[in-house]
Amino acid sequence: MKVRLGDYIQEYSVRNRNCEDIPVYSVTNTQGFCRDYFDKEVASKDKSTYKIVPKGCFAYNPSRINVGSVDWQRNEEKVIVSPLYNVFAVSEKLERQYLYYYLKSDITLQYIKTVATGSVRDNLKLSMLYEYKINLPDINMQKAIANKLDMIQNIMCQKKHKLVLLNDLIKARFIEMFGNISRDCYLKIADVCSIITDGTHQPPKFVQEGIPFIFVSNLANDEITYRTEKFITQENYDELIKRTPIEIGDVLLTTVGSYGHSAVVKTDKPFLFQRHIAYLKPKRELINSDYLRGALLAADAQQQIEEKVKGIAQKTLNLSEIKKIIIPLPPLQKQDEFAFFVAQVDKSKAAVQKSLDEMQLLFNSLMQEYFG
């Protein structure tokens, strides 16, 4: 049964007029309600205009809901969010978690793109959301659907956590093998790489299908993922690849936003990448690619990266600073020994990732079945 969403939700617009000491939250497309974004920014600001979100209410940024930045507040009795946010309460006839998944579905995002307005970003007014028609089975069916999606999400979270633990195992092995190397055996990145540059500065001509064009987000887990919505033509690729002659064994390093993530090119699959990713071509006679990646992800190099990033609004790791990063350089035999360990762990990671991808496909399929 299709119903008008506005008949089941109602705006909740209460300001923090008394400047109560209430936790400040934001809503992101990946974390939902979270504190990390605003804690530092609003520490000295007037919070009296911030909107209160009681437990159980939804909130979204009108210019970010088009990418799924919407959630219901389940963390504390009440929190406050930016005055820009829209906040609404939900009828008891509408299961919150069911609505949460509905608002994150492809069909809802498509609706938002169609009706939202705004000169810079799509801007979804609450009045527009009121007019959205949704499928509304009985409350027990809503709960069953939400529970099934929750179960799959929980399994995926467990698998993602396992991938994190496997990456931590590699980092621990690096410290075990190379943590006590004398500073006399350290070299600059510039000394162990024949090329240090960044991705294309020329705006690519994106097409529906073709050669993948990857972004910083494709290296978020210190591995290269080629799943992307952006592609370029073979002709465009042949023109732009001259700047970065990618080969198996080359290393990529993110430099803007989520900086400091590193990955090794493991396949000859053609791809291109944005300028916010640095391209390092190791001197194979000096350094093993997997060892270089491990060194860049080690605590010592990450601390150097933190010290070298510049900028306030958008922190950036410049190529000139990457060249100055120093790392230990043990004999190649020891590097190869570490690389062999990484290869064994990578097999476990591949199995977990394959299972995770299968669960993601199942989740997407169910989202389409329930809300498509």
* Predicted local distance difference test score (pLDDT) of residue 365: 96
Residues 57 and 82 in one domain: yes
Q: Which residue has the higher pLDDT, 311 or 358?
A: 358
Residues 17 and 103 in one domain: yes
- Distance of alpha carbon 188 from alpha carbon 119, whole angstroms: 46
Q: Using one digit for the tens of pLDDT, what is the confidence trace for 30-63? A: 889 998 554 444 444 778 899 999 999 999 999 8
Three-state helix/strand/coil letters over 11-74: ECCCECCCCCCCCECEEECCCEEECCCCCCCCCCCCCCCCEEEECCCEEECCCCHHHCCEEECC
pLDDT category at 1 given cuts 50, 70, 90 is: confident
* Predicted local distance difference test score (pLDDT) of residue 120: 55
- Distance of alpha carbon 372 from alpha carbon 369, whole angstroms: 6
* Predicted local distance difference test score (pLDDT) of residue 361: 96
**Alpha carbon 369 to chain centroid, angstroms:** 26
Average pLDDT of the segment spanning 126-154: 96
pLDDT category at 204 given cuts 50, 70, 90 is: confident
Residues 59 and 110 in one domain: yes
* Predicted local distance difference test score (pLDDT) of residue 122: 66
Residues 186 and 297 in one domain: yes
Look at residue 60 and tell me if it is in a domain: yes
Task: Categorise residue 212: left if φ over 0, alpha if ψ from -120 to 50, beta otherwise.
Answer: beta
Q: Which residue has the higher pLDDT, 10 or 208?
A: 10
* Predicted local distance difference test score (pLDDT) of residue 143: 97
Residues 186 and 325 in one domain: yes
Mean model confidence pLDDT for the chain: 91
* Predicted local distance difference test score (pLDDT) of residue 227: 85
* Residue 27 and residue 104 in contact, taking contact as beta carbons nearer than 8 Å: no
pTM, to two decimals: 0.81
Average pLDDT of the segment spanning 220-245: 89
Degrees to nearest 5, angle at CA 274 with 269 and 279: 70
- Name the packing angle between helices 289-297 and 299-308 (round to 10°): 60
* Predicted local distance difference test score (pLDDT) of residue 43: 47
- Distance of alpha carbon 366 from alpha carbon 362, whole angstroms: 6
In this prediction, what percent of the chain has a pLDDT beyond 90?
75
Look at residue 175 and tell me if it is in a domain: no
Average pLDDT of the segment spanning 244-261: 94
- Residue given tokens 């060194």 in the structure block: 295
12: domain range? 2-136
In this prediction, what percent of the chain has a pLDDT beyond 70?
96
pLDDT category at 264 given cuts 50, 70, 90 is: very high
Look at residue 248 and tell me if it is in a domain: yes
Residues 43 and 118 in one domain: yes
Residues 304 and 186 in one domain: yes
- Distance of alpha carbon 136 from alpha carbon 4, whole angstroms: 10
Residues 313 and 351 in one domain: no
Average pLDDT of the segment spanning 158-168: 94
CA distances from 84 to 21, 53, 65 (A): 19, 13, 12
Length of the chain: 372
Residues 130 and 147 in one domain: no
Residues 276 and 369 in one domain: no
Residues 125 and 153 in one domain: no
* Predicted local distance difference test score (pLDDT) of residue 44: 46
Residues 346 and 324 in one domain: no
Closest to 213 measured CA to CA, from 197, 232, 199:
232
Look at residue 176 and tell me if it is in a domain: no
pLDDT category at 118 given cuts 50, 70, 90 is: low
Task: Count the domains in the chain.
Answer: 3
- The CATH number linked to 43 is 3.90.220.20
CA distances from 306 to 168, 172, 252, 301 (A): 19, 20, 17, 9
CA distances from 254 to 23, 189, 300, 342, 344 (A): 32, 15, 17, 21, 25
- Name the packing angle between helices 289-297 and 332-371 (round to 10°): 70
Residues 6+ apart with CB under 8 A from 48: 15, 16, 17, 18, 19
End-to-end CA distance of the chain: 14
* Structure token pair of residue 71: 């959630």
Look at residue 177 and tell me if it is in a domain: no
